[in-house]
């Protein structure tokens, strides 16, 4: 969408959907661990974080629906859109693989979210900043959890070190997109409701690098090839397969209710 | 047509005091800081604002339903229960009395929240939480997440009991 035709309302909705899509898709991925965690404590931790992320998505979608004003609700955005309409980071949709991969992905996302939310929490829109402040408290626990595990696995056994290093190497081409900005971000920033991603990029990199050093891991090349396009609806093959599973029941029985 | 009784805010607060948290039945939703406000309109319509503790708290729907049922039980027909996200819930909203009840129930209560300015610096440290059973400080964190999102898991090395700590947010 060109910025010439973008209204403030459109920008806000798109912005909320991007935030929500990241969290729904990652939350859905994390929920796949439920009943499969390596130990009971981690099973609970991963399921709890999935619940938090889906909760964040739910409130962001509900607000997007309110701003859009076309009678949609949060379920509409989650269940009745196709893969090309989702604008989540490709990082969030990647299959869980093993525990190390899940933790590595979670660390990259949580640390990025932390800085992003630290800026968003002072947004002018009160309803928006209210929910952001709430999510931020929970994100801090996610960051603490995943960082602890990066340290344990990196500075653990030869096998755990190898696995978490390989996970980061594999994930690296998906981190470039974290800092993607376009007219939507600019318009939100101008309205006092956005996060200036580039302003904290160096700080975020430092947190990642310091954690890697402590975990005896090697930081992959920041200048390597990076994937792009997800904020415009371009995804890996994994998203469609995941949505098929996530959405089929709702689409088969669109009026089904919990009552 | 019967004449409508108009309740006072105090009466409504007393009614919702009877609604307990489904996950922590020793506390009611006022002590938990979940019930945020009661307003009575000129026509007598009751508006109750509640806020979730955690974004994904599965007990929220149950609590909303329990509040509605309580009002119906008290023969109040004209009411609205509204979810309020304007202020993020904090464990500081729990009363001292509530924290004492939590401890008696076997859950280590949350301490007062501290400024978050040093969050990044605090990433490496762990917090010492006294055991709710024997008050020992010889405890260790087992997991940041417990049976619900609002609790973490600890183990007491003195009385050898696992226990939960209500996270401080």
ipTM: 0.78
Tokens of A149: 């595990």
pLDDT at residue number B3: 58
Burial (Cβ within 10 Å: 0-12, 13-18, ≥19) of residue A156: middle
- Identify which of A234-243, B45-54, B86-95, B160-169 has the greatest average pLDDT: A234-243
Name the phi and psi angles at A181, rounded to 5.
-130, 155
CA-to-CA distance for A24 and A58, rounded, in angstroms?
A: 8
Sign of CA dihedral B105, B108, B112, B116: negative
Per-residue pLDDT tens over the stretch A180-189: 999 999 999 9
> Which residue from A minimizes the CA distance to B142?
A41
* Separation in Å, CA B76 to CA A185, B2, B45, B66, B67: 47, 13, 9, 14, 11
Q: Is A143 on the interface with B (CB under 8 A)?
A: yes
Which positions in chain B have a beta carbon within 8 angstroms of at least one beta carbon in chain A?
A: 52, 54-58, 85-90, 116, 119-120, 123, 142-149, 153, 167, 169
Domain count, chain A: 1
User: How far is residue A124 CA from its own chain's centroid?
Assistant: 23
* Local confidence band at A14 (pLDDT 50, 70, 90 cut-offs): very high
Confidence band for B120, pLDDT divided at 50, 70 and 90: confident
Q: Are A44 and B58 a contacting pair at CB < 8 A?
A: no
Q: Which residues make up the CATH 3.30.300.130 domain(s) of chain B?
A: 9-89
Flag whether pLDDT at B54 surpasses 90: no
What pLDDT was estimated at residue B85?
A: 80
Contact check, Cβ <8 Å, A41/B89: no
Checking if the pLDDT of B35 tops 80, the result is: yes
DSSP state of A33: T
pLDDT of residue B57: 79
What integer is the mean pLDDT of B58-63?
A: 84
| Residue B1 pLDDT greater than 50, yes or no | no
pLDDT band at A255 (very low <50, low <70, confident <90, very high): confident
Alpha-carbon distance B144 to nearest alpha carbon in chain A (angstroms): 7
A38 has a chain B CB within 8 A of its CB = no
pLDDT averaged over every residue in chain A: 95
Residue range B112-124: mean pLDDT, rounded = 75
List the CATH number of the domain containing A177. 1.20.1260.10
User: pLDDT tier at A148 (50, 70, 90 boundaries)?
Assistant: very high
User: Who wins on pLDDT, A257 or B75?
Assistant: B75
Chain B hits for A131, CB-CB cut-off 8 Å, are 55, 85
- Mean pLDDT rounded to a whole number for chain B: 87
The CA distance from A58 to A155, in Å, is: 37
B115 pLDDT above the threshold of 70: no
- pLDDT over threshold 60, residue A138: yes
Question: What is the nearest CA distance from B152 to chain A, expressed in angstroms?
Answer: 9
Any domain includes A153? yes
- Nearest by CB to B86, which of A53, A130, A145? A130
Q: At A2, is the pLDDT very low, low, confident or very high (cuts 50, 70, 90)?
A: low
User: For residue A125, what is the nearest residue in chain B, using CA coordinates?
Assistant: B86
- How many whole angstroms separate alpha carbon A38 and alpha carbon A47? 12
Percent of chain A, pLDDT > 70?
A: 98
Q: Tell me whether residue A245 is in a domain.
A: yes
Q: Is the pLDDT of residue A169 over 70?
A: yes
Least confidently predicted of A30-39, A99-108, B23-32:
B23-32
Residue range A34-77, pLDDT digits in tens: 999 999 889 999 999 999 999 999 999 999 999 999 999 999 99
Question: Could you tell me if A152 lies within 8 Å of chain B, comparing CB atoms?
Answer: no
Q: In what order do the strands lie in the sheet with B151-156?
A: B107-108, B162-166, B151-156, B139-143
For residues B26 and B97, the answer to whether their CB atoms sit within 8 Å is: no
Q: Which helix (H) or strand (E) holds B101?
A: helix B96-104
Whether the predicted pLDDT of A78 surpasses 60: yes
Is residue A258 situated within a structural domain? Answer: no
CA A189 to chain centre: 20
3-state DSSP helix/strand/coil percent for chain A, to nearest 5? Answer: 70, 0, 30
Chain B interface, best mutation among A19, A24, A48, A61, by max B CB count within 10 A:
A48
List CB contacts of A171: < 8 A, sequence separation 6 or more: A91, A94, A101, A104, A105, A108
Residue ranges making up the domain that contains A130: 3-252
> Is the confidence at residue B125, as pLDDT, over 90?
no
pLDDT at B95 over 90: no
Q: Please, what CATH class does the domain formed by B9-89 belong to? A: alpha beta
End-to-end CA separation in angstroms for chain B = 49
Report, as an integer, the average pLDDT of A13-30. 98
pTM of the full predicted structure?
A: 0.89
Instruction: Determine whether A158 is exposed, middle or buried from the number of CB atoms within 10 Å of its CB (0-12, 13-18, 19+).
Output: exposed
**pLDDT average, residue stretch B33-52:** 91
């Amino acid at each position: 969408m060109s910025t010439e035709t973008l209204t403030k309302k459109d920008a806000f909705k798109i912005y909320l959907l991007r935030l929500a899509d990241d969290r729904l898709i990652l939350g859905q991925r994390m929920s796949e661990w439920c009943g499969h965690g390596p130990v009971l404590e981690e099973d609970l931790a991963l399921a709890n974080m999935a619940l938090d992320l889906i909760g964040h998505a739910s409130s962001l979608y509900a607000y997007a629906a309110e701003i859009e004003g076309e009678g949609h609700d949060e379920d509409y955005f989650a269940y009745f859109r196709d893969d090309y309409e989702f604008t989540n980071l490709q990082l969030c949709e990647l299959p869980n693989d093993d525990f190390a991969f899940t933790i590595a992905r979670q660390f990259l996302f949580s640390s990025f979210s932390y800085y992003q939310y630290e800026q968003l929490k002072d947004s002018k829109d009160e309803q928006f900043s209210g929910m952001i402040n709430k999510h931020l408290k929970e994100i801090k626990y996610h960051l603490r959890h995943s960082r602890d595990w990066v340290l344990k696995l990196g500075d653990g056994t030869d096998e755990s070190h190898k696995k978490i290093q390989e996970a980061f190497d594999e994930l690296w081409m998906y981190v470039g997109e974290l800092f993607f900005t376009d007219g939507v971000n600019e318009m939100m920033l101008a309205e006092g409701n956005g996060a200036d991603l580039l302003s904290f990029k160096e700080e975020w990199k430092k947190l990642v690098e310091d954690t890697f050093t402590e975990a005896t891991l090697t930081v992959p090349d920041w200048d390597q090839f990076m994937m792009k396009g997800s904020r415009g609806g371009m995804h890996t093959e994994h998203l469609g397969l995941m949505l098929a599973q996530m959405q089929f029941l709702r689409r088969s029985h669109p009026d089904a209710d919990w009552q | 047509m019967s004449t409508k009784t108009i309740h006072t805010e105090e009466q409504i607060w007393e009614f919702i005091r009877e609604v307990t948290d489904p996950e922590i039945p020793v506390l009611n939703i006022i002590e938990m800081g979940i019930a945020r406000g009661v307003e009575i309109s000129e026509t007598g319509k009751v508006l109750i604002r509640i806020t979730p503790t955690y974004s994904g708290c599965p007990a929220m729907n149950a609590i909303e339903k329990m509040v509605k049922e309580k009002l119906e039980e008290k023969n109040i027909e004209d009411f609205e229960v509204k979810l309020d996200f304007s202020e993020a819930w904090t464990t500081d909203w729990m009363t001292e009395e509530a924290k004492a009840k939590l401890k008696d129930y076997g859950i280590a209560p949350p301490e007062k929240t501290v400024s978050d300015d040093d969050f990044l610096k605090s990433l490496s440290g762990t917090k010492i939480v006294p055991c709710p059973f024997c008050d020992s400080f010889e405890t260790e964190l087992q997991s940041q997440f417990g049976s619900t999102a609002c609790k973490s898991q600890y183990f007491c090395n003195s009385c050898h009991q696992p226990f939960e700590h209500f996270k401080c947010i």
